[in-house]
Structures are given as structure tokens and as C-alpha cells.
Copies of this chain bind each other. A is one copy, B any other.
């Protein structure tokens, strides 16, 4: 396989162009995804390798993307810990974790036993991706998973989860450690199955002040990365809405750091230093703009990422793509990034 622009950028090596992929690129904005989902519930979908592999590949067939990302959900690996997971629009936990005993009962499962279907999906996708398009594996970061496990469902504030950090600090720390160990094993198994980069999504870390990030969330991320550091795959961390945490994020030393659309890339670069690759950060809402304005926004992101080290940038949205997005706007964006950055 010839080296991919995506993997080169992850490692800070010169690539033929700025690579581009899209968070949630396999999803509901694609008519072919909606068609395949008809009559299949979400959990069945993530647990059936043929379907999950097909969905992973759909955006690769439609757009000139530089990476594929496993179709799955951040909650998938927590079922094996002993959590009763359902999906009703989003994840719902019937037995939310609210005390030390519940944390103590959680297992750290072997991913080959708890999520064999994920590893099978990865092998299937890799068998199809014979060109230079690498496959990204991923997991949820411990704090973001804790939010769901304690709250029991998605909310805007995760008040119960955040109250738990203060009211049960020892149980919270143990839960974070168990989640870190489960996710480390999960990501390790993904790499063994063929994932060529590993990404940790910390979707709710922006709820934390720096002091809680420092004492609780960052050590758990470090624990995951420490176990993965010797694997021959780049590590990506996405601290969503974590602009105020970047100085501390730097010390976690991932190869790539995802930047949401509210943090300007030059500010992120200033806080993170020259030795990591930035991934982002077009506002997903910009894909609803007329072409001329969208074009300006793409140029603005490329300009912000540029300067002396354009090779240290992977173009992406600043958050997951919205389900109402027009796929033609996505095609326009992908092609524009390639045309404007060809070297």
C-alpha cells in the first residue's frame, strides 16, 4: 500500500495534499445510509459486521476522502462492562452508575469476547480498502463515557454526572480507571484487527473546568494513551469544546488533536506548540451556506492552518456532520480542499 496523505499528516510528514475526512461521515446525511438503515435498529446495525462495514465504506465510495472511520458508537464497548445499554434516539442506560458498589461491579472485558463484531467489521473494511485509504478506529474517552453511564442518557448539562464527581470522588476515579482500561484494551484490539489510526472522542470534556480536567479526565486519557503509545499507529484526541483545556491537552502528547469550530486554529497552534497535527475545524453549519460563502470558509480554515507547516493539518469539520447536510456540499468541500492544497 502506498503511504496515505492522512497517515503522513498524522506523523507530520510532507503529503501530496492536505488530507480531509469528516466526523460522522458514515451517517444519516447520506441517502444510501438511510436506505440501508430502513427496518434495522441502530444496535443491530453496529453489531452486524456486513452492515457496519458497508456503512463505513459508503462515504469512501461517494467522496474522495483520505480516511475511512469505523462505523460504530462510543457506547458499544461498555455493554461488556455490565451496563444495560439501549438506544432511543441516543444511548439510554437502564441501570445508571450512581454509587461505589455499582462501579465496583463493572468488569473490564476482553474485547475479543465482548465486541468480536467490531473486530470483524474492521477486518472486513480493511479487506475492501485495498488502496491508500486508511481506516481509523475509535473509542469514547473515559470522561465522556462516565457522563452517559452516570446520567443514564444524553442531556445538555450532565448535571447528575457532574454532581457525582463531587459527591463520590473515589468512585468517580475508580470508574474513570475502569473505563480507561476497557477503552485501552478495546483500541489495542482494533489496531490488531487492522485499524491504522486510533481516535479518542471526548465529546463532553468541555463541561469540565481545567481543575477537574487536570485531576480526573486527563489522567484517564493518559492511561489509555500510555498503553497504546508503542503501537505503530498514530493517536488522535478530540477534546470537543475544550479550547480552555488545550495547554493541558498538549501534555497528553497525542499525534493529532481535533479542534472544534469555536477555537481558532492559530490559537490552538499557539497553545499546543509545533509538534502535533491539528485536525479541523470548519463549522458544520457552514455546509448550509451558498457555495461562494462555503468556499470562503474553507479558505479561511486552510489559511488558519497554514503558515509554515501546512503538513501539520488534517482538514475536518469542527464537530460531527449534521444529518440535514446536502451531500453535494460535502463533495464540493472535499474537492476544494484537495485542489487548493495540491503540492
A: residues with CB less than 8 A from B are 154-157, 159-160, 162-167, 169, 206-210, 212, 241, 243-244, 261-264, 283-290, 293, 319, 322, 324
Q: How far is the CA of A157 from the CA of B156 in the complex (A)?
A: 9
Q: Contacts A208-B262, A210-B264, A262-B209: A163 and B241 contacting too (C-beta < 8 A)?
A: no
- Residue from B163, B210, B283 within 8 A of A285 (CB atoms): B163
Chain B residue numbers with a CB within 8 Å of A287 are 166
Q: Report the nearest B residue to A267, measured CB to CB.
A: B244
Check B159–A285 contact: CB distance below 8 A.
yes
Chain A at the B interface: mostly helix, strand, loop or mixed?
A: helix
Could you say how many copies of this chain the assembly holds?
2
Q: Contacts A208-B262, A322-B159: A285 and B154 contacting too (C-beta < 8 A)?
A: no
Chain B residue numbers with a CB within 8 Å of A319 are 157
Check B243–A163 contact: CB distance below 8 A.
no
Q: Report the nearest B residue to A167, measured CB to CB.
A: B288
Q: Could you list 30 examples of A-B contacts with CB < 8 Å?
A: A155-B156, A156-B156, A157-B319, A159-B322, A162-B285, A163-B285, A163-B322, A164-B288, A165-B285, A166-B283, A166-B285, A166-B286, A166-B288, A166-B289, A166-B293, A167-B288, A167-B289, A169-B293, A206-B241, A206-B262, A207-B262, A208-B262, A209-B261, A209-B262, A210-B262, A210-B264, A241-B241, A243-B244, A244-B244, A244-B263
- A sample of 17 more A-B contacts (CB under 8 A), given A159-B285, A163-B322, is A155-B156, A156-B156, A159-B324, A163-B288, A164-B288, A166-B283, A166-B287, A166-B288, A167-B288, A167-B289, A207-B262, A209-B261, A209-B262, A210-B262, A210-B264, A243-B244, A244-B262
Q: Give, as a whole number of angstroms, the nearest-CB distance from A289 to chain B.
A: 4
Which residue, A210, A285, A287, has most C-beta atoms of chain B within 10 A? A285
Q: How far is the CA of A319 from the CA of B322 in the complex (A)?
A: 27
Check A156–B154 contact: CB distance below 8 A.
yes
Task: Please name the 10 residue pairs, one residue from A and one from B, whose CB atoms are nearest each other, closest first.
Answer: A162-B285, A163-B288, A166-B289, A167-B288, A159-B322, A166-B288, A156-B156, A163-B285, A209-B262, A166-B285
Which residue, A163, A212, A261, A290, has most C-beta atoms of chain B within 10 A? A163
Q: How far is the CA of A155 from the CA of B155 in the complex (A)?
A: 9
Q: How far is the CA of A307 from the CA of B242 in the complex (A)?
A: 27
Q: Report the nearest B residue to A286, measured CB to CB.
A: B166
Chain B residue numbers with a CB within 8 Å of A212 are 283
Chain B residue numbers with a CB within 8 Å of A159 are 284-285, 322, 324
Check B324–A163 contact: CB distance below 8 A.
yes
Q: How far is the CA of A20 from the CA of B290 in the complex (A)?
A: 48
Check A283–B209 contact: CB distance below 8 A.
yes
Q: Report the nearest B residue to A210, measured CB to CB.
A: B264
Q: Give, as a whole number of angstroms, the nearest-CB distance from A218 to chain B.
A: 15
Q: How far is the CA of A207 from the CA of B322 in the complex (A)?
A: 14
Q: Give, as a whole number of angstroms, the nearest-CB distance from A73 to chain B.
A: 16
Chain B residue numbers with a CB within 8 Å of A264 are 209-210
Q: How far is the CA of A281 from the CA of B51 in the complex (A)?
A: 47
Which residue, A157, A159, A206, A286, has most C-beta atoms of chain B within 10 A? A159
Q: Give, as a whole number of angstroms, the nearest-CB distance from A116 to chain B.
A: 32
Q: How far is the CA of A206 from the CA of B244 in the complex (A)?
A: 12
Q: Report the nearest B residue to A160, measured CB to CB.
A: B324
